[in-house]
Amino acid sequence: MLINTVREYSYAKIARDLENIIGRPSTQDLISYVDKNLIPNCPVTIQDIIRAEDIYGPNIGSIKGKTTYTTEEHVKVQSQDIPQEIMEKHGEVILAIDIMFINKIPFVIMTSRNINFRTAELVKDMKNKTLITSIEQVLQAYQTHGFKTQAMLADGQFKHIQQIIEQKGIMLNICAANEHVPEIERYIRTIKERIRSIATTLPFERYPP
């Protein structure tokens, strides 16, 4: 694509800066975000994104962060009306949960089937009370918007809180030993790829928690 004006070049640079800020998604994903208006007040167009790719080439941070794989603050929710057709079809939700560690720092990661509402929350430790508090905050977010949590999918590390969860009327399905919940594993992999994509371009070898 030809760059005909200074303005086109400047907006291409803004497009690349935006890509870096939101965690270096793939060019195709970024185009999809802009096309579907998923980025509020987005200053760039699809053409700006394509020009940025032509000018700067592939995003180096993205390449370094995502090619390392050869295998597979509190939650904030903005209140808004949920379309009735979504409530009728997906009013009862199934959640997947896991613990993600970044430099030995634990995060409770959750995602819902079909709705794909995803949360990540830093926790100070792995004690039962801490995990339950984190889970309850996410459950409250769903309940506030009219959703009912039907079941949760988890691996064996949540076995010790199974009874507490089921006392809340939610079935906690623990997968077999050496198995994992696919959707939450994919989500964690995506988060870690985005983090590495940013970290690999920073001029630091160590980071404080």
Q: How confident is the model at residue 188 (pLDDT cuts 50, 70, 90)?
A: very high
Q: How many CB atoms lie within 10 A of CB 174?
A: 16
Q: What is the pTM of this model?
A: 0.59
**CA-CA distance, 74 to 107, in Å (whole number)?**
10
Backbone angles phi, psi at 150, to 5 degrees: -90, -40
Task: Name the architecture of domain 84-195.
Answer: 2-Layer Sandwich (3.30)
- pLDDT: is 58 or 151 the higher one? 151
H/E element holding 179? none
3-class SS at 137? helix
Q: Where are the domains of the chain?
A: 6-58, 84-195
DSSP 8-state code for residue 176: P
pLDDT digits (tens, 9 = 90+) for 11-37: 889 999 988 888 888 888 889 999 988
pLDDT digits (tens, 9 = 90+) for 39-77: 888 989 999 998 888 888 877 776 666 665 444 455 555
Residue with tokens 């794909």: 116
Task: Report CA torsion sign: 47, 52, 58, 61.
Answer: negative
**What contacts 42, CB < 8 A, 6 or more positions away?**
18, 33, 34
Burial 66-80 (b: 16+ CB within 10 A, else e): beeeeeeeeeeeeee
pLDDT, tens digit (0-9, with 9 covering 90-100), for 166-185: 998 899 988 876 677 888 99
H-type helices in 40-127, by residue range? Answer: 46-56, 60-66, 84-90
